[in-house]
Amino acid sequence: MSPVTSSQRKPRELNAVSHSKFRDDVLRGLAKSPKELPSQYLYDDRGSQLFDQICEQPEYYLTRTEFKIMRTHIADIASAIGPNVAMIEPGCGSGQKTRLLLHHLRQPYAYAPIEISRTHLLKFVQRLHSASPNLVVHPVCADFNELSELPEPLRAAPKRVVYFPGSTIGNMTPPEARALLARMASWCEPRDQILVGVDAPKNHDVLLAAYDDAAGVSAEFALNYLVRLNHELDATFDLGRFRYEAVYNETQSRIEMYVTSQVAQTVDVAGRPFCLSENERLRTEWSYKYDREQFRKLTASAGLREACCWQDPRGWFRLHLLAVSGGPERVP
């Protein structure tokens, strides 16, 4: 396989988020009742750094548990995926799990990280190139929720696997998750697959600690959103007047994350005033937890079916290998 060229390491700007779209999405969310801030914009450069720190906190079981599943079952996972595949990763993270999977895949055709933060994407690709200089990389700077089709080099691949680790699928409502899975399926042929991480329901105290760590990194991550709005949309958020909250919604089986106004106040965003009452919450994110049968039903509604599933001994986290309906059967 030939070494990566400079042009291959330069991100393709496909549907990259514009300033006007960022502004409009934020204003639309703040005009809702209850108010919300679109979660994809948590990940500016500082937000991406803070999320990497969250993953290192002792309470944040998700990354460690998923990585343990990967290490334990990596040979079987790589075998189930097969050789000569183009691996596509919407929302590349720190890359530890990605490098592990790429290392064990047999003769990978190419790798395409899709990332909304161009700076984060460039740094990630540089690190990956240092570790795997012969891997062909096609970085894509885009919001994967808006990506309708893959770049031509990936469409020409013999086979594709979409890798969606972590619990990002849980950050969407079930209809949104179904729509994203269907979008991923639209990138695929019947021979292709999707490998996705899914967090399972568990003890509420474990969940709340994971999303509100003692070191306060989760709080800083959420409040950084307001910092970004101040810098990029001329907002007037005073961070001292807000606090971070994580709440478990048992009915919806999800963790809900908020920045909460501690006083009645008016905040300007992009020239528009928004009145906030005391203790009014602005939702920044939520994280749904699915048992295996719930997730099977969700994927089936998106035209996918479970080919394989791996989980840790406690059943806290799972990796589902999904096949496009009509693709080959393997392990139930």
- Which residue from 203, 166, 161, 175 is spatially nearest to 77, judged by alpha carbons? 161
On whether residue 161 sits in a domain, the answer given is yes
CATH of the domain at 77: 3.40.50.150
- What value does the mean pLDDT of the chain take? 90
Average pLDDT rounded to a whole number, residues 88-113: 88
On whether residue 270 sits in a domain, the answer given is no
Residue-wise pLDDT for 227-267, tens only, equals: 999 999 999 999 999 999 999 999 999 999 999 999 999 99
Please state the domain count of the chain: 1
* Pairing, β 317-324 against β 304-311: antiparallel
On whether residue 296 sits in a domain, the answer given is yes
| pLDDT recorded at residue 295 | 97
On whether residue 246 sits in a domain, the answer given is no
Lowest mean pLDDT, pick from 25-29, 148-152, 191-195: 148-152
Helix (H) and strand (E) counts for the chain?
A: 11, 13
On whether residue 182 sits in a domain, the answer given is yes
CA distance 157 to 270: 43
Residue numbers of the domain that contains 161? 1-232+290-332
Burial of 332 (0-12, 13-18, 19+ CB in 10 A): exposed
| pLDDT recorded at residue 70 | 96
On whether residue 244 sits in a domain, the answer given is no
| pLDDT recorded at residue 2 | 31
On whether residue 166 sits in a domain, the answer given is yes
On whether residue 278 sits in a domain, the answer given is no
Dihedral pair phi/psi, residue 102, rounded to 5°: -60, -35
For residues 156 and 129, the answer to whether their CB atoms sit within 8 Å is: no
Q: How many degrees, rounded to 5, is the angle at CA 52 between CA 79 and CA 314?
A: 55
pLDDT at 6 over 50: no
| pLDDT recorded at residue 11 | 57
